[in-house]
Amino acid sequence: MHVKQDGAGAFADFLVFTRDLVRQNSTAFLVFTSTEIDPGKLAPVFAHYRSRNARVYAVMLDDASYIQWKQQLDLDALLETRNQAIAYLQGEGCTVIPVDAEKDIEEEFRAAMA
């Protein structure tokens, strides 16, 4: 099954709405940016996935590496937000696949799935 968000709402709300689509013993790939992580909304989603023994791969796009005008950003704050998001997702049992503009995406997926 493949679902796609249309941008009309928050990603966490979309996951809450669609969590029952995850089947027993399935695998879910979720694509986040580090600023989209909302533990309050995601915790029950991940608990539901665990109850169905679903394996979750969280693809984490590094916001700062894809933004053209990096000099205008607080890169330290973005790095801290990213690190907190990765730690949260790992704590929820997700396999996190960090992706940034300088990394080989195929290589990152192979390493995570090995």
The pLDDT tens digits of the residues spanning 71-92 come to 566 777 878 888 899 999 999 9
**pLDDT higher at 32 or 44:** 44
Token digits of residue 110: 């192979």
**Which pLDDT score is estimated for 21?**
86
Q: Quick one: pLDDT at residue 4?
A: 60
Question: Rounded distance, CA 62 to CA 82, Å?
Answer: 7
Residue 5's Cβ-side half-sphere holds a number of Cα atoms within 13 Å equal to 15
